[in-house]
């Protein structure tokens, strides 16, 4: 899909002490970094006190996600807990977290990366929070 021909970036710095240049070769596929996923939604799963349903959208800046798919990492932390858990990668834009503490508020974020594993993961999405289902 990508060219194996390296590009070369010429970086030149000039100041009162003189000029210095450096040539930096790179391949396009190695510098891919998507924007963060968007519209992260967190919902309780009815009747399931230890689960949360997560749904999100690919970044709007990523062209044709159906042809150039992304994979996603999820990180979450229980409110007032210091241990953040990171899971994935997953290929879909939804996921059900399981094994959560019933009644506890959880804070979640998602990051995206090119499906072919080129480049790096995006920054984390804006956080979203939710509490698993509780009996009425």
Region 116-131: what's the mean pLDDT?
A: 95
Name residue, tokens 């391949």. 27
What is the CA 115 to chain-centroid distance, rounded?
12
Q: What confidence tier does 3 reach under pLDDT thresholds 50, 70, 90?
A: low
Q: What confidence tier does 2 reach under pLDDT thresholds 50, 70, 90?
A: low
**What is the residue extent of each domain of the chain?**
32-130
Backbone angles phi, psi at 29, to 5 degrees: -65, -20
What kind of fold does domain 32-130 have according to CATH?
Answer: Immunoglobulin-like (2.60.40)
**Does a cis peptide bond (omega within 30 degrees of 0) precede residue 20?**
no
Q: Does the pLDDT at position 16 exceed 70?
A: yes
The per-residue pLDDT for 29 is 73
Q: What confidence tier does 105 reach under pLDDT thresholds 50, 70, 90?
A: very high
Q: Does the pLDDT at position 19 exceed 90?
A: yes
Burial of 90 (0-12, 13-18, 19+ CB in 10 A): middle
What percentage of the chain reaches a pLDDT higher than 70?
A: 98
Region 102-129: what's the mean pLDDT?
A: 96
Tokens found for residue 86: 């990171």
pTM score of the predicted model:
0.82
pLDDT tens digits, residue range 27-51? 777 778 999 999 999 999 999 999 9
């Amino acid at each position: 899909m990508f060219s194996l021909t390296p590009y070369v970036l010429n970086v030149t710095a000039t100041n009162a002490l003189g000029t210095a240049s450096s040539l930096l070769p790179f391949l396009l596929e190695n510098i891919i970094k998507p924007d963060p996923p968007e519209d992260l939604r967190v919902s309780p799963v009815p009747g399931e006190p230890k689960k949360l349903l997560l749904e999100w959208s690919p970044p709007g800046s990523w062209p044709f996600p159906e042809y150039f798919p992304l994979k996603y990492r999820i990180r979450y932390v229980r409110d007032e807990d210091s241990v953040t858990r990171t899971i994935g990668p997953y290929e879909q834009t939804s996921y059900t977290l399981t094994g959560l503490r019933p009644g506890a508020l959880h804070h979640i974020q998602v990051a995206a990366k090119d499906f072919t594993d080129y480049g790096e993961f995006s920054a984390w999405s804006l956080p979203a929070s939710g509490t698993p289902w509780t009996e009425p």
